[in-house]
Amino acid sequence: MKSLLLLVATALLIPVHSALAQVAATIEGVQMPAWVERNGRRVPIIPGMELRAGDQLVTGAGSRALVKLADGSLVKLGENGQLGFQELNPAADLFKAALNVLEGAFRFTTDLVAKSRKREVSIRAAQVTAGIRGTDLWGRSRAGNEIVCLIEGDIEVAAAGEQPVTMNQPLQFYRRLEGKTQPVGTVSKQQLDQWAAETELQPGKGVARVGGRLSVILGQFDEQNGALGLYDSVAGAGYPAQIRPVKEGEKITYYVVIRNLPSRAEANAIANQVRGKFGVAEPKVSG
């Protein structure tokens, strides 16, 4: 079994708040279970985690992920999704990003401050690529069914080998079914609200966020091997467990915890999700 030193070394593969270079993208929030894949390794997503070009986010059933890009834009990924970051270049004069949605629903949102920055951002959903110019859009990638819906701004959408289509009216959407591009249509506000809900973090469902101050204690051990065993089980299931050694008198107790929970409702939701699973007996909310 690995040691705590090896566990720390593994965690450093996914740095948090690097001080050596400008951060291109950061995990702002996560509804578990969810993972990031890098260089053949898969680890659970932790709020505050820095992302790099080549990383891929993976969400499980019922989960969501919220990413903030260096230009201030937000990227949201719905459940059972896969989102690859092919390019992330946070240069001050021109922010560049190329995102590849392999599966699932996504949303890209640019706020007023971010709109003033120069950028080259493209999002690919299966065979469809959208070039973004200061906008808000939603999309979904499924086998034989790709959708890109404009919420605000303008985008240029194209499938491989086809002429690009420009959309500049709110609620316009582009769809490709079984490899065939459909005429651009207009979606109802009600339908858009239903689509958008697929990518929103759901309050009270076990959401962790940057700055969350509550924790859930999953277990405590007198020996580090016991803590590492529980850590492996919980982290492998997509929950960002951490080991916290605490000196209590003459001995060290090893606590396995999930942190960054912003409210008691979120902490209780996590406790209920893991209770009786992954070797967790009776989780406790702390903080």
Is residue 18 predicted with pLDDT exceeding 90? no
Phi first, then psi, for residue 126 (nearest 5°) are 55, -110
Domains in the chain (CATH in brackets) are 53-197 (2.60.120.1440), 207-286 (3.30.70.1070)
224 and 231 in contact (C-beta within 8 Å)?
no
pLDDT more than 70, % of the chain: 87
Residues 101, 95: Cα–Cα separation, whole Å: 19
pLDDT of residue 92: 62
Is residue 1 predicted with pLDDT exceeding 90? no
SS (H, E, C) 198-267: CCCCCCCCCEEECCCCEEEEEEEECCHHHHHHHHHHHHHCCCCEEEEEEEECCEEEEEEEEEEECCHHHH
| pLDDT tens-digit map of 51-96 | 999 999 999 999 999 999 988 889 999 999 999 998 888 776 677 8
Instruction: Report the SS3 class of residue 160.
Output: coil
Q: What mean pLDDT is reported for the chain?
A: 88
Instruction: Report the SS3 class of residue 95.
Output: strand
Q: What is the band of 211 on the pLDDT scale with cuts at 50, 70, 90?
A: very high
What would the mean pLDDT of 252-273 be, rounded to a whole number? 98
Q: Of residues 273 and 127, which shows the higher confidence score?
A: 273
The DSSP element (H or E) to which 194 belongs, if any, is: helix 189-197
Instruction: Report the SS3 class of residue 167.
Output: strand
- Token pair 């922010």: residue: 95
Which distant-in-sequence residues (6+ apart) come within 8 Å of 146 by Cβ? 125, 126, 127, 128, 139, 140, 175, 176
